[in-house]
C-alpha cells in the first residue's frame, strides 16, 4: 500500500514568517493529496487539497505544490499567525480511496 513520509516532525516559526512542510509518497498511482489541520483536542479538518493534474494550488495564505516526478508535495503557509499553530497532516490516496497519512508536523507560531 501507499507509504507517506512527512518532514519535519516539529516546526517553530516566528509570527509573520513562512512555514513549509514536505511529504513524499511511494505509490506513483496516487492522485489525490489533501492536507489536514488538527488543533489541540479537535478533529482533523481539511484545509487544502490538490490532484495530480495540477502542480500548484493556492487559498489565501496557504498553498500546496506537487511534483509527480519526484513523488513529493509540500504545504506552504505565508505570513503565519499564532492561530496557525496546530498539527498538520499530509495524505495521499488513489482516487481518494484508502487514504494514508503522514506522521504529522507540529507547527508552533511564536508571537
Partner 1 sequence: KAGVTQTPRYLIKTRGQQVTLSCSPISGHRSVSWYQQTPGQGLQFLFEYFSETQRNKGNFPGRFSGRQFSNSRSEMNVSTLELGDSALYLCASRQGADYGYTFGSGTRLTVV
Please report, as ranges, the residues that interact with partner 1 according to CB under 8 A.
1, 34, 36, 42-46, 49, 89, 95-104
CB of 107 to partner 1, least distance (A): 15
Q: Name the one residue in this structure whose C-alpha cell is 484545509.
A: 47
The two beta strands, 45-51 and 32-38, are antiparallel
Give the integer Cα–Cα distance in Å for 86 and 105.
Answer: 8
CB of 34 to partner 1, least distance (A): 5
Q: State which residue, 42 or 60, has the beta carbon closest to partner 1.
A: 42
Q: State which residue, 16 or 29, has the beta carbon closest to partner 1.
A: 29
Give the integer Cα–Cα distance in Å for 29 and 96.
Answer: 11
Q: Residue 28 CA to chain centroid, in angstroms?
A: 18
CB of 97 to partner 1, least distance (A): 6
Amino acid at each position: 500500500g501507499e507509504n507517506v513520509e512527512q518532514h519535519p516532525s516539529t516546526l517553530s516559526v516566528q509570527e509573520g514568517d513562512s512555514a513549509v512542510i514536505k511529504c513524499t509518497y511511494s505509490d506513483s498511482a496516487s492522485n489525490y493529496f489533501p492536507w489536514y489541520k488538527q488543533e489541540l483536542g479537535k478533529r482533523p479538518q481539511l484545509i487544502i487539497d490538490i490532484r495530480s493534474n495540477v502542480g500548484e494550488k493556492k487559498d489565501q495564505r496557504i498553498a500546496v505544490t506537487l511534483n509527480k516526478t519526484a513523488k513529493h508535495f509540500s504545504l506552504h503557509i505565508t505570513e503565519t499567525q499564532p492561530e496557525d499553530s496546530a498539527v498538520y497532516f499530509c495524505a495521499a490516496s488513489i482516487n481518494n480511496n484508502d487514504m494514508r497519512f503522514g506522521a504529522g508536523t507540529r507547527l508552533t507560531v511564536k508571537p
